[in-house]
């Protein structure tokens, strides 16, 4: 009887010690010396490339909100393209239901035939 009690008690003590060791290990893994890892430390692959490009002020995958331009000759809408021309659609006014389409060629800034906004094509390389 005393032996069974001793075995049961020591078994519980060993299980409790193992559980404490596991939980301490997990806590230690989550809280490294630097604290919680940043997005850049956790990111891999395409996400990491996008974050590193963002640090340099670039947006190779067009995932961030585009910058707004005035559309004047001094501040034209910049249209990125991998080729030497691109089809552009201008909505002219916010509530318009029809889009005005026209071709934009590299080195030749164009104006929208309807509203007169200025557009300029800029060459962009593919990120890979």
Known binding site: residues? Answer: 90, 92, 112, 115
Which tokens go with 33? 């010396």
Kindly tell me which residue out of 110, 112, 119, 121 binds Zn ion, with binding defined by CB under 5 A: 112
Q: Does 115 bind Zn ion (CB under 5 A)?
A: yes
With respect to Zn ion, which residue has the nearer C-beta, 66 or 127? Answer: 66
Using the contact rule CB under 5 A, the part of the chain among 6-14, 42-50, 58-66, 108-116 near Zn ion is 108-116
Query: Could you please report the per-residue DSSP string of 17-73?
Result: HHHHHHHHHHHHHHSBTTBSPPHHHH--HHHHHHHHHHHTT--TT--SPPPP---SS
The upper half-sphere exposure of residue 76, i.e. CA atoms within 13 Å in the direction of its Cβ, equals 17
Q: Does 26 bind Zn ion (CB under 5 A)?
A: no
Q: Does 88 bind Zn ion (CB under 5 A)?
A: no
Nearest to 122 by CA among 91, 90, 79, 87: 79
With respect to Zn ion, which residue has the nearer C-beta, 49 or 111? Answer: 111
Q: Does 90 bind Zn ion (CB under 5 A)?
A: yes
Interface ranges with Zn ion (CB under 5 A): 90, 92, 112, 114-115
């Amino acid at each position: 009887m005393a032996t069974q009690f001793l075995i049961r008690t020591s078994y519980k003590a060993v299980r409790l010690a193992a559980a404490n060791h596991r939980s301490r290990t997990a806590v230690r893994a989550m809280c490294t010396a630097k604290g919680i890892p940043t997005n850049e430390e956790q990111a891999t692959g395409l996400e990491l490339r996008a974050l590193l490009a963002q640090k340099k002020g670039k947006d190779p995958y067009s995932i961030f909100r585009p910058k707004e331009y005035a559309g004047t000759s001094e501040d034209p809408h910049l249209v990125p393209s991998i080729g030497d021309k691109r089809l552009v659609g201008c909505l002219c006014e916010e509530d318009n239901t029809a889009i005005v389409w026209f071709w934009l060629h590299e080195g030749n800034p164009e104006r929208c035939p309807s509203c007169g906004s200025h557009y300029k094509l800029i060459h962009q390389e593919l990120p890979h």
